[in-house]
Structures are given as C-alpha cells and as structure tokens.
Copies of this chain bind each other. A is one copy, B any other.
Amino acid sequence: MIKVAVLGYGTVGSGVVEVLRVNQEIVNKHAGQEVELKYVLDLRDFPGDPVEEVLVHDFETIVNDPEVKIVVEVMGGLKPSYDFVKRCLESGKNVCTSNKELVAQHGTELLQLAKANSVNFLFEASCGGGIPIIRPLYSALTADKIDEVSGILNGTTNYILSKMASDGSDFESVLAKAQEKGYAERNPEADVEGYDACRKIAILSSLAFEQYVDYKDIYTEGITKITAADIKYAQTIGTSIKLLAVSRQSDKGTYAMVSPVMIDSSNPLFSVNNVFNAVYVHGNMLGSSMYYGRGAGKLPTASAVVGDLIEASKNVNQTVMGEGWNPKKLELMPLDEISGRFFVRISGSITEKLPAVEKVFGTVEPITVPSMEDEFAFITDEMTEAEYKEKANQTDGILSMIRARI
C-alpha cells in the first residue's frame, strides 16, 4: 500500500480525488499496490463532502507524516506551493504537480532536489492538460535530437479564435461569451496575453532541448489585437490563425516565441479547434509527430496527475527523470534575428497603395476580401523580424501584422 496526500481541493484537486475513487481498481492495478488517499489539504471546510474524512488544514500534518510517500500539489501559484513542494521533496516524498508556474519558475531546482533525495518531481499535467507529452519527451522520443516543439497550448485562446472564425465575431464579444460559459476566467489576462502558453513552452523547450529555458526570455504576444477582419483574410486564403507557442533549434541558435500565427492546412495543428490543445514535436530521425487532446479541464488534467502518481508509486525511491535538464540557462536568439514570413494588411486601394508597398517589400501578391473594400493584404517573403520592422517603418497604413508559417 502507498499513501498519498493532495494539496488543494479546487477544480483539479477534486478531480484527482474523483479519478482515484472512480478508477480505483485500475489505479491500484497499474500502481501494483493499493493507493490510499490519506490527506487532502485545504484551508476551507467542505461540510457533507466525503473529503471531510481526510481533510486537514495544516500542511505540517502531511510533511511530518513518514507514511505519506507521494504528495500531489494542485493548489497553483507559487505561494505557498513552492515552499510546500520543496519541503516535501526534502522530506523524501515524491511530488506530482499540475502547476505550470511552479515548474516554469522553479523546475530546475526542484528536479535537482528530487534527484538529490532519490524521489520524483513529476509534472505531466502542467503542459497540455491530459495530453501525454512530458512522459513521451523523456521516455519515448529518446533516440532523437529534437529540433522543434511547438503547439497550441492554451484552450481558452484556441476556443476564442475558433469561435471568431466560425461566427465571424470580434475578440471582445467572443471573450465575453467564453467568460459566461466558464471557458475563460474573469481576469483573462494570463490566457489572452499568452502568458500561460509562454510558461508551458518554456517547460517543453527545457525538456526537449535538455537545457533550462527561462520563460521570461520568450517573446510573448497575445490574441487581443486579432480582429474579425484578420480572420476573414485568413479564411479567404484557406488558412487559420492560432496562438502558437514555437520553440526551434538550428545551427543559428534556439528561438522561442508565443504569438498569433497564420497556418495552412499542411500544418497538423491547422485543424486543432475549440478547447483542444496539441503539441507538435520534430526529431531528426522521427520527423514530425503530434500529440492532441484536452489541454485543460478537471478530469483530463486529473487523469494526467494520477498517471504521474502511478509512475511515482512504481518508482518511490528512484528518480525516473534523472537530474532533469541542464540548469545552465539556454540563451535564446534575440527577436530581431528570428526569420519568418509576415501577413500584412494595408489600408487604402490597391491601385493607390501597391506601388509604394512593392517599392519597400518587392513584388507581392495582393489579397483581397470581397466585402472589405479600401484595404488589401499580402504575405512577405521570408525575412528577419528586424528586416520586417525596418520595412514596416517605411510603409504607410499598416492595419495589422500577423506572423505566417505557410
């Protein structure tokens, strides 16, 4: 038998308790032993909820109980999570977490601490909710040099962009509806500004490139400026706009970026819609692969946490991820040096404006949308961000720019 404590009885925490209860038999079988939930920590009381039997309000009860071998941290945030997790690892307890902030901010240290104490610090649920991506990266795609990890890593923004595309609505009105439905938080900043995706791609990049990537170094742009007009253009040329988190390694260096990107149907991420998430991984032998599923939600996230819990229960005194990634920070390329293509919308008629645009950008193929007169768009050749900025400065009437990977 192995005894477990859950820190936090919020959405994910109650999901973990539910998975342990409903799939008890499967969990025990896969763990090779009975898994017993000994404590749930929460400051609140839950009168009438069966959780009362195991509910405690004091973390010390858990950390000082030598019977507890695995601690599930699903409180979120850094305070007090960071201290709690650190103390658990130092006390020789395995920790499984869904907390992307914690992993992005302190993962390097916590992985080393786990190794030093011969326990595990596991975080499958921190990126892509229920999608198994962390374990494939460290245990399956091991024969490859991974040169790209990218993905749609935030369900809220993918839902908003999908809805904008299907309904032709503007960002603000779709956001309001998403908030009503509970698909977006009342304070949606972390999602719509790309901060959530940024932390996730930092974690995935650290794992894939096996060296610490600091999320603060990643250029991050959200979807708040995307308009119904932008999406009409995208649809006209058979593309879609996604909030992509991209991380690539080449001879020139490594870059990482979170931003809206126009992609076409040849990209496996093209048809990932609504709240679904997907992670694309490219290896030098494997080629392209993709992992798709529910990126958030109580039960999919809890399923990933409990998968970690089972992994930990089979390896209570053996650190399956080793020391983790190299703690020396991986220097990312400056934004200016990153190359790509750019979709650009220009105000004014083609006849009037195109000559000036072509003087700066060279020959372009203008794109028009029937219902939208007095403007047009084009997609640049590949150039660096610096080159684009310079050309954009010389161009009048730019309505919007979206990076294009087509």
- Where the two chains meet, the residues of A that have a C-beta atom closer than 8 Å to any C-beta of B are 19, 22-23, 26-27, 30, 32, 124, 130-132, 135-136, 139-145, 265, 268, 270-271, 276, 283-294, 297, 299-300, 302-307, 309-311, 322
Q: Which 7 A-B pairs have the closest CB atoms?
A: A143-B306, A289-B293, A132-B140, A285-B303, A290-B292, A30-B142, A286-B303
Q: Tell me which of A271, A283, A289 has the highest count of chain B C-beta atoms within 10 A of its own C-beta.
A: A289
Which residues from chain B contact A297 at a C-beta distance below 8 Å? 287
**Can you give 29 A-B contacts (C-beta < 8 A)?**
A22-B284, A23-B143, A23-B144, A23-B285, A26-B143, A26-B145, A130-B289, A132-B136, A132-B140, A135-B139, A136-B140, A139-B139, A139-B311, A140-B304, A140-B307, A142-B307, A142-B311, A143-B302, A268-B271, A285-B299, A285-B302, A286-B293, A286-B294, A286-B304, A287-B299, A288-B292, A290-B291, A290-B293, A291-B291
CB neighbours of A284 from chain B (8 A) = 22-23
Contact across chains for A268 and B292 when beta carbons are under 8 A apart:
yes
CB contact between A135 and one of B136, B283, B289, B309 (< 8 Å): that residue: B136
CA separation between A303 and B143, bound complex, in Å? 6
Give chain B residues whose Cβ lies under 8 Å from the Cβ of A307. 140-143
Chain B residue contacts of A311, Cβ below 8 A: 139, 142
- The CA of A309 and the CA of B288, in the complex, are separated in Å by 21
Nearest-CB residue, chain B, relative to A305: B143
- Which residues of chain B have C-beta atoms less than 8 A from A293's C-beta? 286-290
| A143 CB → nearest B CB, Å | 3
Q: Choose one: B124, B270, B283; the contact of A140 (CB below 8 Å).
A: B124
| Complex interface: chain B residues within 8 A of A300 (CB) | 285-287
Closest Cβ–Cβ distance, residue A94 to chain B (whole Å): 15
B294:A292 contact, CB within 8 angstroms = no
Determine the chain B residues whose CB is within 8 A of the CB of A32 once the complex forms: 322
Query: Which residues on B sit within 8 Å (CB–CB) of A290?
Result: 290-293
A136-B136, A289-B292 given; 10 more Cβ-contact pairs under 8 Å: A19-B285, A26-B143, A26-B144, A130-B286, A143-B303, A143-B305, A143-B309, A271-B271, A287-B293, A291-B292
Give chain B nearest CB distance to A338 CB in angstroms: 25
Q: Would you give the shortest CB distance from A376 to chain B, in whole angstroms?
A: 29
Q: Which of B22, B291, B310 contacts A142 (CB 8 A)?
A: B310
* C-alpha gap A32/B143 in the complex (Å): 13
Please tell me if the beta carbons of B143 and A287 are within 8 angstroms of each other in the complex.
no
Nearest B residue to A29 via CB reads: B210
Assess whether A144 is in contact with B286, with CB atoms less than 8 Å apart. Answer: no
A285 CB, min distance to chain B CBs, angstroms: 4
Chain B residue at smallest Cβ distance from A311: B139
Known A-B contacts A291-B289, A293-B287; A140 and B135 likewise in contact (beta carbons under 8 Å): yes
Which chain B residues lie closer than 8 Å to A302 at the CB level? 143, 285
Chain B nearest CB from A289 CB (Å) reads: 4
Distance between Cα atoms of A393 and B56 in the complex (Å) = 67
